[in-house]
Structure formats: C-alpha cells, structure tokens
Amino acid sequence: MKKGQEILSLLVVAFSALHCAEQATLDPATGLLPLKNEPASLVIENLEWEEATSLSTEDKLRERSRAVGYLALPEVGARCTAFLVSPSVLMTSRACALEESMLKGAKVYFRREEGVPKGEWAEFSCQRLIGEDPLLNYALIECADQPGLTHGVLELAPGHLAPATNVYLLHQSCNYFYTPRCGPTKKMSPGVVVENQGSVIHDADALAGALGAPLLSMHHHQVVGLHLGGALDASETALGNRAVPAGAILDSLRRRYPDLALGPYSSVYGAPEANPDSLEPNEDESQGTVLEKGFLSTNLSVHRGDRDVFILEASADFAPQVEILFQHKLGDLDAVLYYREISDQPIRSAVSADDDEFINLKGLRYGTYYLVVYGYGDVVNNYSLRVR
C-alpha cells in the first residue's frame, strides 16, 4: 500500500502523452477511446493495480467489483467506467453523459474481465439519462432489464471521509503505454486518502478509462467517492487523483431524486433466498448425487457459500447432456466438469451470461466425472437439473 507522504514522486500522465497515445488506446473490442476528464488521471510512483479476477471469490473487494461495468458510448466514440446504485440505475461521471444524445446506442458490460471470453460478457442497454449534476459531476443512467438483479448494487457512504483512510478504486482500464491496443479489463487499485477538503484526494492508480469509477473504503466497502481524474494545485503540481465525496452525492440524490430506490449493498439484488434442497448435503465428491439417464430434479438451489456436486459414470451406453435450468436475471449459475477428481483444472465448463447452462459428455473418455454447479460470486438462485 502506498502512503500519502510518498506522493512526491508522482508520474503524471501528461495531456500531451495522452493525445499522442489516442490511437494506441483504442479498445480493440469496441473501437472506443477512453473519455478523458481534465486533468488526466495519475499513476502514483509506479502502476499498482490487480485484475479483478485475481481476487479471491470470497474477498469483499471481489464481491463489490461485480457491480462495476464498462460503459460503451458509441455515439461519441468513447468509453467510461460506471457502477450500479440500484437494480436499473448506473452512476458515472457527468462527462460521460452530459445529455441524453450521448447515450444513443450506449451499453454497459459486466464480467468484462481478464480471461472472460467476449461471448460471456453480460450486456445491457443503457440509453436513458435520468439526470446529472454540474456541481458534483455525477450522472444517473437507466438501464434495461435491471442488471442489478444479477450483478448487485453498491452502497454510497454518508458523512465525511477522514485522511489516511485506506481505499480502493474499481475501474475498467489497461496499461496502454505498456501494451498498445490493450483491452480494458476490470482492475482494483489500492490507495490512501491524502486529503478531503471539498474533493477526496487519493493515491490509488488510474488511467483515462477509470473516469466514473467508484472509490470504496477498505473498511466498510461502501462507495466513498466518484472518480474524476488527476488533481493539480495552482502551480500545476500533481497532488493525486480526485473524487467527488459520496456523502455529498448521497445528499444530492435524496434531495433531487427522492423516489430513487438506492441500495443497501447487495451482491445479488432481489434474488430469492434459497434454502438447502432435498439433495443436500452434496458439496464434495463423497456426498455427490449420482446422475443417471432420465434424471430430473426441480426446486434445487444454490445458496451463499454453497455448491452442488453430481457424479456421472460415462460409458459406451451413457454419454449424456446435463441441463441446468434457471432464470439468469435472478442470479447467474455456472457449471464445470472434472474427470476423476475435483481439481483446479476442469475439462469442460458452462459459464454463459444468460438463462440455463449445458454440459455434454459426448466424446469424453469412459470413467467417473464430477459436475459442480455453483453461483457466480455470492449468487443465490433456484434451478432444475435434467439428464438427457
């Protein structure tokens, strides 16, 4: 963790460097440039961030990262970071949505993360501007199909944030200076609050694609700031990165949008609270449920901290397809298949971002297989399982 007093050796991403790098910062998947806010975001000493997928699935930082998305703005050829504050409402920087015309064709992508294929990104249309605030620099955007039901929502922290508070920034970025034309994946940058006098000045690293990202407290994991960019003093000396205090935004939202239903934080907002099903306990190889041709069980469930294990004996007469049937909007379930023992290397997986998952054993060697059904993140959901 970097200390606030070490900020003297800032490496500023200068405006000229950003302009020169614009061709190199095109996102290869969407052809969009990061929308920049002046002054540019800063790297403090050296780049310190982690891929969201490198965080433990049990880590609260990882849980919170799921409500953060890549906001694509094709009408203006730009992209930002945004995050869910209610099941259907995104928050981002006002620079990303000055007016509704900027949102023509806009989409937010969740699960745009290191190692996740493009076909597994979760895509939602977000084209209605609810409102924006020119003083506090936030914008609210309405999305279709309530992505917060699947990806959760973040909670804004009230009150004042003290200096020296440990924080982290969740953002969609990549180091385009090191890897030209890199794809911006979800990152976690740790840092410390340097000062909080009107703006939150912190030393968590960011580049241009982080505009609109949430700054969260390491202690209570609530949003404490909305990231805008680098902070310079009157002599243009770099102070750190700057965020709008979440407490001020929260007061504004309650005053201007009293009917807006904000979080509390939820990793899966509004999903059913599933209880252990009739096949429990079945969380490991010794307790797994044996599947045979024609097997059908409804009202199965995955609850918090749970996984369901099933056993299949593949043979010349039995190479089935297993169907895991559920409503994705109530919680994303995934499945992986292991040979002989549950290890770190599944041989097949079903991890789509829509309803239902399918695992087929056709073409596999004969023997014992273990099928594991689990929730993405802290998902709670019910499902049916059928063997054909």
For 23, residues 6+ apart whose C-beta sits below 8 A from its C-beta are none
How many structural domains comprise the chain? 2
Model-level pTM?
0.67
Mean per-residue pLDDT for 110-122?
A: 92
277 lies in a domain?
Answer: no
Say how far residue 14 (Cα) sits from the centre of its chain.
28
Is 127 within a domain? Answer: yes
Residue 262 lies in a domain: no
pLDDT tens-digit readout, 329-339: 788 899 999 99
299, 379: one domain: yes
Structure tokens at 87: 């099941």
Q: What is the pLDDT of residue 380?
A: 81
Q: What is the pLDDT of residues 129-153, one digit of tens each?
A: 999 999 999 999 999 988 988 888 9
Domain boundary among 208, 236, 256: 256
d(CA 130, CA 259): 12
β strands within 238-306, DSSP E: 238-245, 289-290, 296-302
In a domain, 32, yes or no: yes
Q: What percent of the chain has pLDDT over 90?
A: 55
**pLDDT of res. 176:** 78
CA 244 – CA 136 distance, rounded (Å): 6
- The domain in which residue 339 lies consists of 285-387
* DSSP summary character for residue 185: E
Question: What is the per-residue pLDDT for 41?
Answer: 62
Shared domain check, 292 and 222: no
- 21 or 179, higher pLDDT: 179
Burial class (CB in 10 A: 0-12, 13-18, 19+), 283: middle
Are 201 and 116 found together in one domain?
yes
268 lies in some domain? no
pLDDT tens for 4-26 read 333 323 333 333 333 333 333 57
The answer as to whether 33 is a domain residue is: yes
Cα 224 from Cα 250, distance rounded (Å): 10
Cβ-Cβ contacts under 8 Å for 38 (sequence gap 6 or more): 15, 229
pLDDT score recorded for residue 378: 66
Residue 66's domain is classified under what CATH number?
2.40.10.120
